[in-house]
Chains A and B, each alone.
Chain A
């Protein structure tokens, strides 16, 4: 039996929805198991139905987003928070200040006719069955998750830092060897350390490593390398708001 799939995009850059199209032929493999009922970036087809799986990307940044999120939750058996916007808030949730002040700075008025909200991750509003971070997430991961679900298997979760993948690829450590501020030690792996391949530091786009991370020691390392506290604080905050405590 075909499973019914919906893709819902709240406020975001479009990357996590687009990344599904970047699966290319593998998208067609998935379509052997899934029937797309809603995916507004890719299709004008839309059917109100109960879904087996809902993929939700983006942050809740307007009342409309919130309504859409509740719709998706109430109409799906299995809901996946897809991408760092959905799981941790990503860059837009790290913008400081209250919504009215921000609107005033940008639009010159405190009026809020379109009902904008301070951006928050979806996990803060509804229960999710699976959270897959990444800005954007890794394509193989979503492919595996959807295949697992189609076969009735609960997808596994990752729990190791970016550093592990960096070591496996034998990249030179940019933090220790070159003094570049790299968040690899406290960031959830799964991207194959792609930024360190480019010899630039990890900026933490997959969000903090759950449980074992030691942000306090990362904080100290960066301070010793000469970075000031405000700089480090903002770097830690970029993708995960206030989740990293140090």
Chain B
């Protein structure tokens, strides 16, 4: 038995690698190893006052901090039975759209595009294909602008609060968002063409799981049409070779993320995004996990169009800027968000003083851990022996990268 090691995935967030085990000249197994150290977020929040918790949870991940803040706030509000206004709901959605733009653009243009064009990174790719890199950066910067206004900062803002916001956006800021989303749409449409050309890699998941709203909601839905709470159908298992656990839906491997979202929620897409979805429908339906990248590109179009719709609606109605007052009381609540990489869950029990008594956080990369491993296995089987080792490893890295794994996020899975 021999094994081939990928000691560190590059162009992914966080630290992880893989081991490909070869027996009698055949790929026997692949292990995805997450060796980013544990950060114990659930323990961190235990006993802390609910008001401070979303700001701490934001620190789980920088690329999708705002999804964590929103999921945390939703879990807390549901525990207290708080209902917020339409305006607050729209502003949260706007923040999540900004995050989708920032994260999907970062992934596609800076991390995946170099594979498509044969470079080790976007910086070196920029010398020949500067336009594409610049277009991606423009979309990403716009996403960050939204995160800054709604979330309070580009990274780890503390403006998203239970019951509302610290500060509400001004008319000028909303107008700027509306203008820019319109202007960037052309670039995003071009991006769909670029990423549609990627070769298909990895496995085909048996199931997809998504949140019931496009970006957030109150239940999960699966490709077999089931609607449920996560603990009713999803099981987690700890592994000896990884700090991240693996999950199963009804005992089977599933996937979360952009591909599941566009496949299961195509009805909710905005007009141009839907049109593009229809155009690539058959391709997407092939189900290979690398099609996640094409789905992400379609989502950039969705996010820009939806940003325009929301800012217009808010500008027409005018910003009220009123928070919902909160009285802490004993309760339990779950926040479900579609982080850019897929389903994100924050589940809390809170005592009557408003302190956290139980917390469970499950992140998209933890959900995708099993399908990531299976994809590497299938890709390795398909390719082993057909090319030299460095080309072989390069394809395996590309397969992992297609998931847009967020390793920092994945290591906080806990059941207390």
Task: Indicate which residue in A19, A108, A200 contacts B155 across the interface (CB closer than 8 Å).
Answer: A19
Closest to A10 in B: B37
Closest chain B CB from A13 CB (angstroms): 5
Residues of A within 8 A of B154 (CB): 19, 22
Check A15/B56 contact, CB under 8 A, given A44-B121, A61-B38, A94-B44.
Answer: no
B: contact size bracket: 35 or more
B99 within 8 A of A: no
Residues of A within 8 A of B120 (CB): 43-45
Residues of A within 8 A of B153 (CB): 194-195
Stretch of A144-152, A155-163, A230-238 that contacts chain B: A230-238
Closest to A113 in B: B240
Stretch of B77-85, B156-164, B190-198, B251-259 that contacts chain A: B156-164
Q: CA–CA, A94 to B297, complex, Å?
A: 39
B414 within 8 A of A: yes
A135 within 8 A of B: yes
Q: Interface readout for B14-40 with A: 1 if CB under 8 Å, 0 if not? A: 110000000000000000000111111
Residues of A within 8 A of B166 (CB): 195, 198-200
Task: Indicate which residue in A62, A90, A197, A200 contacts B37 across the interface (CB closer than 8 Å).
Answer: A62
Q: Interface readout for A14-47 with B: 1 if CB under 8 Å, 0 if not? A: 1110110110100110010000100111111110
B38 touching A108, Cβ below 8 Å: no
A92 touching B44, Cβ below 8 Å: yes
Stretch of A70-78, A97-105, A207-215, A216-224 that contacts chain B: A97-105
Stretch of B4-12, B225-233, B377-385 that contacts chain A: B4-12
B52 within 8 A of A: yes
Check A119/B37 contact, CB under 8 A, given A15-B62, A195-B152, A203-B52.
Answer: yes
Check A36/B52 contact, CB under 8 A, given A12-B408, A13-B62.
Answer: no
B43 touching A95, Cβ below 8 Å: yes
Total interface residues on A, using CB and 8 Å? 64
A61 touching B11, Cβ below 8 Å: no
Check A198/B37 contact, CB under 8 A, given A92-B44, A234-B48.
Answer: no
The total number of A-B Cβ pairs within 8 Å is: 173
B63-79 interface with A by 8 A CB criterion:
63, 65
A64 within 8 A of B: yes
Residues of B within 8 A of A135 (CB): 59, 156
Closest to A58 in B: B37
Q: CA–CA, A199 to B416, complex, Å?
A: 35
B61 within 8 A of A: yes
A205 touching B37, Cβ below 8 Å: no
Closest chain B CB from A117 CB (angstroms): 7
Check A18/B121 contact, CB under 8 A, given A11-B39, A42-B11, A113-B240.
Answer: no
Residues of A within 8 A of B48 (CB): 234
Which A positions have Cβ atoms within 8 angstroms of B?
9-16, 18-19, 21-22, 24, 27-28, 31, 36, 39-46, 59, 61-62, 64-65, 90-92, 94-97, 102-103, 105-109, 111, 113-114, 116-117, 119, 135-136, 194-195, 197-200, 203, 205, 231, 234-235, 238
15 contacts between A and B (CB under 8 A): A11-B37, A13-B65, A19-B62, A22-B154, A40-B9, A40-B10, A44-B10, A61-B37, A65-B37, A91-B59, A92-B44, A106-B42, A114-B242, A114-B243, A198-B159
7 A-B pairs closest in CB distance: A61-B37, A15-B62, A43-B121, A11-B37, A198-B166, A45-B120, A200-B166
| Apart from A22-B155, A39-B121, A61-B38: 17 A-B pairs, beta carbons within 8 A | A9-B15, A11-B39, A16-B62, A19-B155, A21-B106, A31-B123, A41-B12, A43-B10, A43-B123, A44-B10, A44-B120, A62-B35, A95-B40, A103-B38, A106-B42, A194-B153, A198-B157
Which B positions have Cβ atoms within 8 angstroms of A?
8-15, 35-44, 47-49, 52, 55-56, 59-63, 65, 106, 110-111, 114, 120-124, 126, 137, 141, 144, 152-159, 161, 165-167, 238, 240-243, 245, 397, 406, 408, 413-414, 416
